[in-house]
Amino acid sequence: MDSQYKDIDNFMWIVNKKDTEDSTWIFSNKDTEDSTWILNNKDTEDSTWTVNNKDTDDSMSIVNNKDTEDSTWIFSNKDTEDSIWIVSNKDTEDPAWILNNKDTDDSSWIFNTDDSTWIVSNKDTDDSTWILNNKYTEDSRRIVNNKDTDDSNWIVGNKYTDDSTWIVNNKDTDDSTWIVNTEDSRWIVNNKDSDDSTWIVNNKDIDDPTWIVSNKDTYDSTWIVNIKDTEDSRWIVNNKYTDDSAWIANNKDIEDSIWIVNNKDTDDSTWIVNNKDTGDSTWIVSNKDTYDSTWIVNNKDTEDSTGIVNNKDTDDSTWIVNNKDTEDSRCIVNNKDTDDSTWIVNNKDTEDCMWIVNKKDTDDSTWVVNNKSTDDAKWIVSNKDTDDSMWVDNNNDTDD
């Protein structure tokens, strides 16, 4: 090597061989932290190009790794394309191309082996997203959003049924979504000028009519009628002017009535009534102005009444009543202003009454009454101001 290349850190070498079109350019400028570029190695046909140019491209591109024949190109050009392109993953031999071009396509394209997956978002023309041939399912899926024409989404070829599935959103006419052929005809319609509704007709197993309605001027509701196998009637309502509620009626198998209510002006509550297997009544209430409580009533196996209450202004308590296996009554109370106590009543095996109290202002005591094996009454007191004592009353062998 000539002495003029002695300082390798400020060395630029460009070779363009006319017969092979190999060009190899290694550039390392110590003052500018510019790039290193290796392009087209004649023996391996690898093209490896890494560019980090602080003033211009700010890009990094690696193409064709010699061991895997992967083509991996990552390009981030701050002024022009702002794109990232990755082609051919070494472990899967998938060609994957992700392109984000701010001035033209604004597209992302991913292409995989046994499936061709192409996601395109073109801001000036199609505004489309296209996914074709999912690798695990051999589905042919195409999702198109064309801003000037039909604003449509189109999915073709469902993996299990060879269904033709077509989802259309036409901005000027129906604003509809239409799914056809699953052995049922499904039609989802969102009509901007009329009822803003979503309608599904004929579920595949029982020919149920299922109707989901979102009416912009009145109910803002979602209504599902007749779910498969049970002919259940389910109604979910979100009424913007009144209840802001969601209501589901008649759960499958037992015709449960399930009602979930979120009323914006009053209760802010969620209420579920009648659990499907047991006829349990489960009620969860979160009332913003009063209780801030959560209440669950009637556990599924024993018709237990379980109430958990967290009252923000008063008790700050947690209350569990009637444990499922024993019909025990258990009450755990944490009252911020008074007792700061924990109280458990009726232990499961003996109907013992156990009371554990930690009172912040006075006794700092722990009190256990009626031990399950002996019917002993045991009281352990640690009083911070007076005794700092420990007292056990009624020993099981001696009646002490």
Strand partners, 13: 26
Task: Using CB atoms within 10 Å of the CB of residue 380, give its burial: 0 to 12 exposed, 13 to 18 middle, 19+ buried.
Answer: middle
C-alpha 54/C-alpha 340 separation (Å) is 63
C-alpha 83/C-alpha 133 separation (Å) is 24
> What pTM, to 2 d.p., does this model score?
0.17
Q: Give the torsion sign (CA, 3, 7, 11, 14).
A: positive
Distances (CA, A) of 144 to 38, 109, 125, 167: 39, 14, 11, 9
pLDDT of residue 394: 42
The per-residue pLDDT for range 214-230, each reduced to its tens digit, is 443 333 334 444 343 34
Give the residue ranges of the chain where pLDDT is below 50: 1-377, 379-400
Tokens 């309608």 sit at which residue?
A: 199
Residue 315 token pair: 């008790």
Choose among 317, 310, 248, 254: nearest CA to 284: 310
Query: Could you tell me if 106 and 120 are in contact, meaning their C-beta atoms sit under 8 angstroms apart?
Result: no
DSSP assignment of 39-87: ---TTT--EEEE---TTTT---EEE-BTTTTB-------TTTT------
pLDDT of residue 67: 39
pLDDT of residue 150: 39
* DSSP symbol at 326: T
pLDDT of residue 351: 44
Tokens 């690898």 sit at which residue?
A: 46
pLDDT of residue 226: 39
pLDDT of residue 230: 41
Residue 63 token pair: 């193409």
pLDDT of residue 168: 44
In a 3-state reduction of DSSP, which class is residue 103? coil
C-alpha 218/C-alpha 199 separation (Å) is 17
